[in-house]
Amino acid sequence: MVSRRVQSYQNKIAKLRAFSQTLGLVLTNLYYLHLRWLPFPVMNCYACPLATFACPIGSLQFAIGAGGFFPFYLLGIILFSGLLFGRITCGWLCPFGFIQDLLYKIPLKKKFRLPAFVSYGKYLFLLVFVLFLPILLHDPIFCKICPVGTMEAGIPWPILEPSFRALLGWLYALKLTILVGIVILAIFTPRPFCKGMCPLGALLSFFNRFSFLRVQVKEEACKKCALCAEPCPQGLMIYEDEGHPDCIGCMECKVCPAVEMKAGIPDRLLGGKKQSKTERISDIQPKL
Amino acid sequence: MRKSLFRSLWFILLVIALSIVVFGAKRGEWKKIKTNAEYICTSCIGLGK
């Protein structure tokens, strides 16, 4: 049972988040700000004709691959952002996350959650496609399969630049297939890219347990009723593991008054308990 | 005691993060990142057979 006060508070948070996500979408597409020297910690492709910032994942692959230098500057920015916000930037600023949220709002009856093991996929993409293969082949391999790049650069550039059309081949077909797959999945399940594929989410997830801004549960108020789990896009029971690596800080769990967004220097490592398969409510019908 | 130690560690980590950013910036990494970001990334578009 959700009280009216909590519901109105939740509505305010939802509106604030929608505004913040729209701001993120606009901010990452203001080409004339010329901030491509700054890797902004959300998934935004720098090959997009309107891109404001550098893509942190593309820049990382370039640095350790073809660039041949250790990316102190970039890793410092990721560390700084992670310490302050953890994965909250995913839930509140990431333009691709926002697009997936909008797709999930398409009202269809057959909504489902991806199984819990899918969330390990992002670590695999980070290790293999962002770190190992670019070092080995001196090529940004993740960019070749990245659906964000396909949407922000792969679609607009061949329209804007006719000479590119002759260069489209199997790689383009592969990228387009991945994007279409993610788009279709996002209609039926919340944030499939963030859950199973995003290497930036994998990097930032390590900071969820000790970030300045974080989701916490008031122990004395929590009745462990799993009310928070139903609207959670990642299918988490946040009281079982505060600071879970998959939590994107979207505050959909604010249906429960025991959950709060806390700001301040952390004084302990949050959570740490592993969620069992039953605790990750993959089988509960997600809320529209 | 334990709480203040954790807070201090966190703060040190934040200072380290900022120092790394400054160190990298002084080495001119931001210019390399900018130059790379200003090229049209063919992998991102999916060009090539």
**CB hemisphere CA count around A215 (13 angstroms):** 31
SS3 of A65, please? helix
Structural domain count, chain B: 1
Contact A154/B44, CB-based, under 8 Å?
Answer: yes
* Greatest mean pLDDT among A8-12, A67-71, A106-110: A67-71
B1 pLDDT band (50/70/90 cuts)?
Answer: confident
Of A157, A168, A267, which is closest to B7 when you measure between CB atoms? A267
Q: What is the pLDDT of residues A14-66, one digit of tens each?
A: 999 999 999 999 999 999 899 999 999 999 999 999 999 999 999 999 999 99
d(CA A225, CA A173): 46
Chain-wide mean pLDDT for chain A? Answer: 91
**pLDDT higher than threshold 70 for residue A157:** yes
* Burial class, A200, CB count within 10 angstroms (exposed 0-12 / middle 13-18 / buried 19+): buried
Interface predicted TM-score (ipTM) of this complex, two decimals: 0.95
Confidence at residue A118, expressed as pLDDT on a 0 to 100 scale = 95
Q: What is the pLDDT of residues B3-43, one digit of tens each?
A: 899 999 999 999 999 999 999 999 999 999 999 999 999 99
Query: pTM for the full model?
Result: 0.91
Cβ neighbours of A13 (radius 10 Å): 15
Mean pLDDT over residues A212-220, rounded?
91
Q: Provide, as residue numbers in chain B, all residues whose Cβ is less than 8 Å from the Cβ of A174.
A: 46
A9 pLDDT band (50/70/90 cuts)?
Answer: confident
Contact A103, A190 (CB under 8 A): no
**pLDDT higher than threshold 90 for residue A277:** no
> Which residue type does A286 have?
P
Percent of chain A with pLDDT over 70: 93
The boundaries of the domain holding residue B21 are 2-45
Point out which residues pair with A261 in neighbouring strands.
A215
**pLDDT higher than threshold 60 for residue A7:** yes
d(CA A10, CA A19): 14
Q: Provide, as residue numbers in chain A, all residues whose Cβ is less than 8 Å from the Cβ of B18.
A: 76, 80
**pLDDT higher than threshold 60 for residue A210:** yes
B36 touches chain A (CB under 8 A): yes
d(CA A85, CA A14): 18
Helix (H) or strand (E) run with residue A6 in it: helix A4-27
Confidence at residue A4, expressed as pLDDT on a 0 to 100 scale = 75
A208 touches chain B (CB under 8 A): no
Mean pLDDT over residues A249-278, rounded?
80
Helix (H) or strand (E) run with residue A179 in it: helix A170-188
Confidence at residue A288, expressed as pLDDT on a 0 to 100 scale = 47
Cβ neighbours of B11 (radius 10 Å): 12
A and B: number of Cβ contacts within 8 A: 157
d(CA A36, CA A54): 5
A241 pLDDT band (50/70/90 cuts)?
Answer: confident
d(CA A173, CA A150): 10
A201 pLDDT band (50/70/90 cuts)?
Answer: very high
Closest CA to A150 of B38, B34, B41, B36: B41
A273 pLDDT band (50/70/90 cuts)?
Answer: low
**CB hemisphere CA count around A25 (13 angstroms):** 16
Confidence at residue A70, expressed as pLDDT on a 0 to 100 scale = 97
